[in-house]
Amino acid sequence: MVRRSDTKQRMVGAARQLIREHGYHSMALSDVVERSASPRGSVYYHFPQGKVQMAAEAAEAHTREQVDMINELAGEASSAEQLVRAYVDSAQEGMLTSGYGRGCTIAPLVLEVGEDSEELGAASRRAFILMTETLALRLTVLGADAAAARELAHATVAGVEGAMVTSRALRSPEPFDAIRETVAARACALTAVGD
């Protein structure tokens, strides 16, 4: 028997995929039901506020995954340069694996909804703040001073977001290659100054 929490998690995962592939406005609740193989009536049981609540929970799931990934990559890295390279590589791999069909879960919420929804605006801000702060903290541990680590974290997250858009449009990995080399060189320079 499927547990209720499994149904909700499947629906959040399906919403996240649909937002990444087609955007927030194109995500229909019926598509979420179909992709998650969930009972139709479960949408409003698990998401009484509807699509906005579902998208906010998808954003939170994306954020948790990104923070966990940054921490995992940092645990395997021996330098700030290795960490930013691994972060960019991970995003590039996701784009290539999807055949250039997948973007970020958060970006469509910012671009399509903006501040029209207080809940989605807050979820978007929280996502980028947590991702950037986690990356900055890990860069500090790996030798960058706090201000430089914060600057590099912002540049890396923003660069990856931009690379997702341009890579998808061009159907090419080159934008990821360019941002990887740029942030890696900056990371190397920052930690060399600290030595």
For residues 6-36, one letter each, b for 16 or more C-beta atoms within 10 angstroms of the residue's C-beta and e for the rest, the string is: ebbebbbebbbbbbbeebbeebebeebbebb
- How far is residue 21's CA from residue 140's CA, in Å, rounded to a whole number? 34
DSSP for 108-141 reads: HIIIIIGGGSHHHHHHHHHHHHHHHHHHHHHHHH
- How far is residue 99's CA from residue 11's CA, in Å, rounded to a whole number? 23
Q: Read off the pLDDT of residues 27-69 as tens digits, 9 standing for 90 and up.
A: 999 999 999 999 888 888 999 999 999 999 999 999 999 999 9
What pLDDT does residue 116 have?
86
DSSP conformation class of 78: S
Q: Read off the pLDDT of residues 166-182 as tens digits, 9 standing for 90 and up.
A: 999 999 999 999 999 99
pLDDT confidence band for 3 (50 / 70 / 90): low
Query: What global pTM score does this model have?
Result: 0.90
Instruction: Please state the rounded mean pLDDT for residues 134-155.
Output: 96
Q: Read off the pLDDT of residues 86-139 as tens digits, 9 standing for 90 and up.
A: 999 999 999 999 999 988 999 999 999 977 899 999 999 999 999 999 999 999
